[in-house]
Amino acid sequence: MTTSHYIAGRWVDGQGSDCISVNDPALGQPFAELMAVSAEQVDQAVAAARAALPAWKCTSASERAAYLRGFAEQLGQRREALVALQMRNNGKPRHEAEVDLDDAIATFGYYAELAEQLPGQNCDVPLAAPGFTARTRLEPVGVVGLIVPWNFPLVTSAWKLAPALAAGCTVVLKPSEVTPLCELAYGQIADTLGLPAGVLNIVNGKAETGAALSNHNGLDKLSFTGSNNVGSQVMRSAAAQCRPVTLELGGKSAILVFDDCDVDAAVQWIVAGICWNAGQMCSATSRLLVQDGIADALLPRLQAALENLRVGSPLSEEADMGPLTSQAQWLKVAGYFATAREEGLQCLVGGKVLDRGGWFVSPTLYADVPEGSRLWNEEIFGPVLCARRFASEQQAIAEANDSRFGLVATVCTTDLARAERVADALEVGHVWINSVQAVFVETSWGGTKGSGIGRELGPWGLSGYQSVKHVTRCLG
């Protein structure tokens, strides 16, 4: 595969020097390769988006909504092919790949409706001072660069692409080099719908391509989802240009289980929070805080649940959890297993890589992990859960908040007043109460502290791609 870039409404061959190998993580083997774009092609993509902006931002909200509905419909028509590709390139079991596709479809549908419900561009603003009138005008922020990660292709790109197009922005999208193929469906859909050339551009490449895009002076905004290390580089690039940036970064999230909780329900929520997508989620609740009164009953059942979790190829209908998506991530998680042994952590289950030909690891639970442990403090991005006990509500809140991250948390208790009280006290962007991590497009997504800047999804996601202009007129 060489024609894997969509620039100015045309499919083009990569002219860069890097060859991207696309792997099947269940086999640990490549199944496709493509040539990265060159820096000059990144320039061409940004120039195409800039040229398309004047006409696109003047289209009506109803026109943009029609295109967004078209994206949703076309994703549905490509359902089986995209699910199969998610399974093959990401290692997701079918049920997870189907949820991803449904999420992307819902996102485009939601922003189509939101675009139509927007107030007019001009809204009068009442003034206390006589002799003046005032109005606000919502405008697209301009040309935006979108850089998305490998753990949720189609999904993260939909969260950015749909609101950007709804707002009237033009975009240059850079997928991850680990999973570069799924997002190409958006270029195919753009062709099918007759989306004006240059409104959507897709460039594939490695870190050099991401740097060329984030450093480009032709952008008006950057939106990045990924690691904190790369996010800090993106932020420096944005600072050099004095332009806005949205960052959705890492997490080391807590799940708090109080002693009045139903044990079986808590086990279900804990397993889902650490093993969905093989734990490769910024929102993974990888720190388990369990109250003393329930710990002795919960931990053995949790151990048994993780031992019984079926790890295998996504092609197996019985698989509950697939492999890690890349060899680099597999080696990283293996390194944390070694660190746990060096630290003398108590491993109740797992703690090892699996010899199955692909990049598989075992679901893992460490008990009574000290607060100074690297595994308690660092984002692992794998199915590795660390548990600690607590005595009081105040202690649980303090330990949950004792992190440089602040993305999400889960609270498990039958005392709903306490659940709401604890949720209000947690220093995070999203809290679930007695639930798996159900994410709805109507709600916001983003975190506090080191977990990022800005919000995605809901009306907040749209506002991130809008600029507010105020016009004041003297009547004298």
Q: Where are the alpha helices (H) located in 217-291, listed in sequence order?
A: 228-241, 263-275
> Any idea of the CA torsion for 307, 308, 311, 315, to the nearest 10 degrees?
180
DSSP letter assigned to residue 385: E
Which of the following is catalytic: 169, 182, 261, 282? 282
From the candidates 96, 177, 248, 379, which is the catalytic residue? 248
Question: Phi and psi of 229, rounded to 5°?
Answer: -60, -50
Structure token digits, residue 376: 């308690």
Query: Residue 341 burial (CB < 10 Å; 0-12/13-18/19+)?
Result: exposed
474 CB-contact burial (10 Å; exposed 0-12 / middle 13-18 / buried 19+)? exposed
Bridge partner residues of 412 (DSSP): 257
**What is the Cα–Cα distance from 95 to 314, expressed in whole angstroms?**
9
What's the Cα-to-Cα distance from 403 to each of 49, 97, 342, 406, 448, rounded to whole Å? 40, 31, 23, 7, 11
Query: What are the structure tokens assigned to 270, written together?
Result: 């804990």
CA 335 to mean position of chain CA atoms: 24
Is residue 282 annotated as a catalytic residue, yes or no?
Answer: yes
**Of 384, 383, 439, nearest in space to 407 by CA:** 439
| CA nearest to 103, candidates 441, 450, 446 | 441
At position 371, the amino acid (one-letter code) is E
Residue with tokens 């290390």: 229
Non-local (6+) Cβ contacts of 444 within 8 A are 429, 430, 455, 456, 457, 458, 460, 461
- Cα 330 to chain centroid distance, Å, stands at 20
474 a catalytic residue: no
User: Which tokens belong to 382?
Assistant: 């794998």
Please state, in angstroms and rounded to a whole number, the distance separating the CA atoms of residues 428 and 426.
6
Q: Using DSSP, state whether 80 is helix, strand or coil.
A: helix
Residues annotated catalytic, as ranges: 248, 282
